[in-house]
Copies of this chain bind each other. A is one copy, B any other.
Amino acid sequence: MKNKSFLRACVSVMAKLPKVNRHQRTRADHSTELAEDYVEAVAELIEAHGSCRVTDLAEYFDVSHVTVNRAVARFQRAGWVTTKPYGPIELTKQGTQLAESSRRRHAIVYQFLLALGVDEKTAATDAEGIEHHVSPETLQRMEQFAKQANSKSR
């Protein structure tokens, strides 16, 4: 009952917002999502193994090496990574920057979910999905909240 009126309130609030164009952003995000995952992975794998090969990424994402290969070619065209035939994958300056900010965002979202009381496993999974859709402003709020919660528990 009480819950229902709460819900109704939410819906009515949102009804006032423009509906057209709300989805553009979502679609635009899609195109960079995979790129972010990839540069993040490349950075991690280089840290862990010293280098990043197609196979490593295929295993990491649990997709075929062919898929990785094509994706890497695209990201090379886009300027995030560099590769020579049969050689390892490296990050460009841009790629490194993207990886950094991506990992930072990921870490913040994850810590935030923990601070919210979500358990570790769920937080990890949800963070994967959520990280790409968090605006700088929201991210800042999340960081603030996580820090606050952190200092309180200490």
**Which residue numbers of A lie inside 8 Å of B, CB to CB?**
6-7, 10-11, 13-14, 17, 19-26, 29, 37, 44, 59-62, 103-104, 106-108, 110-111, 113, 116-126, 128-130, 132-135, 137-138, 141-142, 145, 147, 150
Contact = CB atoms under 8 A, between A and B. Distances in A.
B11 A128 contact: no
Contacts of A111: 6, 10
Contact of A134 (B14, B126, B147): B126
A149 to B, nearest CB: 11
Given A7-B107, A11-B107, A14-B107, A118 B141 contact: yes
A21 to B, nearest CB: 6
B60 A19 contact: yes
A138 to B, nearest CB: 5
Contacts of A128: 22-23, 25-26, 133
B125 A135 contact: yes
8 contacts: A7-B107, A11-B107, A14-B110, A23-B61, A25-B125, A26-B129, A130-B130, A133-B133
Contacts of A116: 138, 141-142, 145
A20 B60 contact: yes
Contacts of A118: 135, 137-138, 141
A137 B122 CA distance: 8
A114 B141 CA distance: 10
